[in-house]
Structure 1
């Protein structure tokens, strides 16, 4: 199989992963049935998936933080090993690789990928920040989450004690996970990895490189999808493999150095 040989022969691999990669591992923000099972109270309130609650302002702090606590616990802590990530690691783990992902669930790290080779420009659920923000400080989510979950009403899924709702330890302002949701997002925790990523790309700009684009769509294409295409375009020795259920298309300018693989990523990788 041409793709198998291509991956086997590659010495340098760049992995670009979007929401479709985590969806293949069961973390699907569009899946109504999964949402109903995990968040039955929110389902009764009329919500049908996680995307509908991103940035939603119409709920009380007790309700929305009950949801956030359950969601972050599930995505960042409960979900650990996933076959699709481990299959990918089995293909590239012994190569010179780097990962850039728009996902904030730390699934790459939890499945064996070296944290020093992972760049997450959209943030990380395991960090919290002030929403103002009053400083560049970020805080470990775990103790904050533990406090929230200790006061999560098992029936209403609301936070029963207002003091458990996180407030900035410096200014007393509102807090949120350190994920890109507006101009308040604190970039500092990712600057070092961003610099490493840029250096790695420039180091390999004129050497053969296999680019594996997995599940990147058009929600935030400027974060991963378009950069993968641009790197392919500017490096004549690069080849792009795009694994995508809905949008495997590539620009005409790099079509002769690309393969479009339409399908579920877990099923595609399992065949390699």
Structure 2
């Protein structure tokens, strides 16, 4: 007997290939599940222990738990190690590369809640990637005193140079970052509250909106949604459903091992794929 998930994956792969052939445009929409499938799982306890053993000794077990209050030197040690791991790892990611190959020559855009730049690092055109939640590659004032943001790597490299892996602390207080304009504390330029500065990302969002609005009425759109669950459903999951609802010749493929359900009102224009993106893309690649 063939395992049910293998059958589902094979059937879904065939449908996706057919829908891609029939599509004029492709909108790739991604949440944290895609990066987790690509090897950057914030719930990975073993990777957390490997990278941040001092915090592991304190009882913390994953990056998802880092709401815990920590001294400034330990918190910036965490941010520097974490961001260096997920944002500045060199080279493209194989899973994202397979997704880029799948999209092929289609006119396409990307919208993602992920802040790791893995799309731009893996062959997708950076000027066609909308990241409404921000980017670990930038840093901002926490006040904020202005709408300026700055590249984060020049702030993080000195921290990594002064980071003591055994204690989890930054040994040189002079490298703890401050706003270059007002001297206040800084934070990665990602959406955590109303102080988030989104100016750097709005132009891409406006271009994506125009791309959707200016398409011919008979244009066929395929929305490929990968790994977008219910942590922040208003960022990816619900907007993608609405895009398909208001676009007559649009289809939605929702790839999610835990939350694959699609709205009943989309009928045969929506496909639920209850497996991880890695399993599905591996199957399609074969």
Q: Same fold (TM over 0.5)?
A: yes
Using the size of structure 1 for normalisation, the TM-score is 0.96
Match of 2:226 in 1: 214
**CA-to-partner distance for each residue in 1:51-86, whole Å, 9 max, x for gaps?**
111x43x21001111111100100101164222111
Match of 1:100 in 2: 111
Runs of 4+ in 1 over 6 A off after TM superposition: none
**Residue segments in structure 2 that go unaligned for 5+ positions in a row:** 1-13
SS of the equivalent of 2:135 reads strand
In 1, the alpha carbon distance for the partners of 2:248 and 2:268 equals 11
In 1, the alpha carbon distance for the partners of 2:108 and 2:83 equals 28
SS of the equivalent of 1:99 reads strand
1:259 equivalent among 268, 271, 274: 271
2:190 equivalent among 179, 182, 185: 179
Q: Alpha-carbon deviation of 1:168? A: 0.4
- 1:9 paired with 2:22, answer yes
In 2, the alpha carbon distance for the partners of 1:169 and 1:252 equals 51
- 1:225 paired with 2:237, answer yes
SS of the equivalent of 2:137 reads strand
Match of 1:33 in 2: 46
Number of residue pairs the alignment of both structures matches: 270
Q: Alpha-carbon deviation of 1:200? A: 1.1
- Kept after mapping to 2: 8 A contact 1:93/1:113: no
- 1:46 paired with 2:31, answer no
Q: Alpha-carbon deviation of 1:9? A: 3.4
**Residue segments in structure 1 that go unaligned for 5+ positions in a row:** none
2:159 equivalent among 145, 148, 153: 148
Match of 2:280 in 1: 268
Match of 2:7 in 1: none
2:146 equivalent among 135, 148, 151: 135
**CA-to-partner distance for each residue in 1:62-118, whole Å, 9 max, x for gaps?**
111111110010010116422211111001131100000000000000000001110
* CA RMSD of superposed structures (Å): 1.2
Using the size of structure 2 for normalisation, the TM-score is 0.91
